[in-house]
Amino acid sequence: MTTPTADNDTSRTLLRAATRHSGARTAALCLVSTAATGAGLLLPAALGRTLDLLLAGAPATGWVWCCAGLAVLLVLLDGCQSVVVGTVDARTTAWLRERLTRHVLAVGPAVTARFRAGDLVARLVGNAAQAGTAPAARAALLAAFAGPVGGIVALGLIDVRLAVVFLAGAPVLAALVRAFARDTSRCVTHYQREQGRIAAALAEAVDGHRTVRAAGTADRETARILRPLPLLSRAGHRMWQVQGRAAARAVAVAPLLQLGVLAVAGVLLARHRLSVGEVLAASRYAVLATGVGMLVTQFAQVARARAAAGRLGEIASEPAPAHGSRRLPPGPGRLELRGVTARRGSHTVLAGIDLVVPGGTTLAVVGRSGAGKSLLAAVAGRLADPDDGEVLLDGVPLSELTHDDLRGAIAYAFERPALLGDTVENAIGLGLPAPSPTAVREAARTADADDFVRRLPNGYATALADAPRSGGESQRLGLARAFAHGGRLLILDDALSSLDTVTEARITAALAGGGSSATRLLVAHRAATAARADAVAWLDGGRVRAVGRHEELWGTAAYREAFTGSAETASTEGAGR
């Protein structure tokens, strides 16, 4: 579990990297924004000069053109700014989404232990888009600062007393902006958190729609999903209050400052220290110098982006398992667990497990529901790391293997496989660099899936979305994927549970009878499956109570009990282990 400080550091690092990624465009945006601010600052001076020349009856055509040119330039720069802001936002958002999606998938099940699925999606979609505006918003904030600062400098250049009058009231404005920035960050963080809660509950309800309908609890479920709504509404109202209060205070203070500047300018005009044009310029610079409205908007944007980046930082700080650099030497696929201990919360699920599966043999793992069979299967193929001990394949600790060697050597099938890909063929060949149609069909035949795939509208080319499947058919496709993957270790985590006993017998017999040369680890609930394995590991109370042939163990009453009453509850691929 990471700390809030680590999350904050990570969010800052993430934003810095995202800004670097759009570096050239962000620099261009800074240039365009600065140029726009510069043009905005020059315009009042040019207008003042033009007015003075016109009042004096002197030729002012050049200055009129200059004013017109500056006005046109401002419009053009404004257009450029919109285009560049759009591009920077889009590129940064895309970069953040890609990087975090990769990270989420690299972290694996641990990420779903900390974040609910809907909340993760809300973060990767909504918050990434908000955080993606950070580089452009910061550049715009700089430009928004340049306006008031330039306005004060210009006032000082016209007459230093004008700047002094303004600066006397400026601390009040600065305090307003600071309070606004602080309050906004707080409300935005609350708002985004409540949004994430709603998204998480909604995703759970959509996933469990059959259960909700069967229980007739749609109304209660809707209420559960929308429970954070009052808090969301409160955070939203608070945001508007903060923004409204800041604007109201600014509206109260800014005109007073502008009035002060104008009064002093009027006195100086009366004393012939300033021209009419300079008074006009001073009045416009006073407006620019009090440009708090712009600052408030930009601060709000930066605060939203930073709060969103904070939520992304929480994901990014979740450590992904590191892979080693060792290659897998040739070998028969001998699997060895040495003193493997795995805890979940305060519960020690696996306590110092020692187990050896000789290459090319089948080990069935049995035990009552909750005995830790799925966790053992996850640890055996490094879907999860043990808290203590190590797992070796042909003598090499899994944690020291390169990512490609590890994943190339171990194939998995689950009770409820997630089928990914455009077509049935792609779903079976998932993960293979170049899946051959022959290998995919051969694997499907071994998994007893070939017949029903051929009956689909376009056979193997049928889009997954157009291939309605029963639980057993999905399992067979998941098995086919594992068989097509090959490798020297095959782990079936309750992947035969939805098959009828005849099909299950056919598949396990095919595997044992030369259908696969791999070492096989089977999480089994049925006595018949255990009976076909070369050996059985009986898990009980977090330990291996016995290893032996099924027929030998069957004599023990407690062993027989492990097969009764445990078949209804089973593990799932997405259960977060």
**Using CB under 6 A as the criterion, which residues of the chain lie in contact with ligand ATP when the complex forms?**
113, 344-345, 349, 367, 369-375, 566, 569-571, 576-577
Phi and psi torsions of 456, nearest 5°: -70, 160
The least CB distance from residue 569 to ligand ATP, in Å, is 4
Minimum distance, C-beta of residue 343 to ligand ATP, in the bound complex (Å): 9
Q: By C-beta, is 250 or 524 nearer to ligand ATP?
A: 524
Give dist(CA 567, CA 35) in Å, integer.
71
How are strands ordered across the β-sheet holding 535-540? 410-414, 489-493, 519-523, 362-366, 535-540, 543-548
**Least distance to ligand ATP from the beta carbon of 115, Å?**
13
- Per residue in 81-113, is it b (16+ CB within 10 Å) or e — as a string? beebbeebbebbbbbbbebbeebbeebbebbbb
- Which CB, 113 or 463, lies closer to ligand ATP? 113
For ligand ATP, the closer CB: 181 or 371: 371
What helix, strand, coil percent values describe the chain, rounded to 5?
Answer: 65, 10, 25
Decide whether 176 or 570 has the Cβ nearer to ligand ATP.
570
Q: How far is the CB of 123 from ligand ATP (least distance, A)?
A: 20
Residue 341 or residue 566: which is nearer to ligand ATP going by CB? 566
Give least dist CB 390 to ligand ATP, A: 19
Strand partners, 520: 362, 490
Please work out, in degrees rounded to the nearest 5, the angle formed at the alpha carbon of residue 400 by the alpha carbons of 396 and 405. Answer: 80
Cα dihedral sign for 531, 533, 537, 539?
negative
* CA angle (267 as vertex; 262, 269 as ends), nearest 5: 90
CB nearer to ligand ATP: give 19 or 571.
Answer: 571
- The amino acid at residue 362 is T
CB closer to ligand ATP, 46 vs 371: 371
**Alpha-carbon gap, residue 388 to 434, rounded angstroms:** 37
Q: How far is the CB of 110 from ligand ATP (least distance, A)?
A: 9
Tell me the sheet residues that pair with 391: 337
CA distances from 274 to 45, 64, 401 (A): 13, 21, 79
- Could you tell me the smallest distance in angstroms from the CB atom of residue 221 to ligand ATP? 24
Q: Which 3 state secondary structure label does DSSP give 360?
A: coil
Min dist CB 537 to ligand ATP, Å, is 12
**Residue type at 147?**
G
Q: Which is nearer to ligand ATP, 217 or 566 (CB)?
A: 566
> Whole-number minimum distance, CB 347 to ligand ATP, in Å?
6
Please report how close the Cβ of residue 522 comes to ligand ATP at its closest, in angstroms: 12
Task: Specify the residue, 111 or 300, whose C-beta has the smaller distance to ligand ATP.
Answer: 111
Task: Between 34 and 566, name the residue whose CB sits nearer to ligand ATP.
Answer: 566
Six-digit token string for 507: 């598949």
Please state, in angstroms and rounded to a whole number, the distance separating the CA atoms of residues 64 and 82: 28
Burial of 264 (C-beta count, 10 Å sphere; 0-12/13-18/19+): buried
Identify which of residues 308 and 570 has a Cβ nearer to ligand ATP in the complex: 570
Nearer to ligand ATP, 292 or 384 (CB): 384
Reference 542, options 347, 338, 336; nearest CA is 347
Q: How far is the CB of 523 from ligand ATP (least distance, A)?
A: 6
Task: Round to whole Å and give the CA distance between 393 and 515.
Answer: 21
Residue given tokens 């053992």 in the structure block: 376
Start-to-end CA span in the chain (Å): 15
Please state the closest distance from residue 520 (CB atom) to ligand ATP, in A.
17
User: Residue 546: is it exposed, middle or buried by C-beta count within 10 angstroms (0-12/13-18/19+)?
Assistant: middle
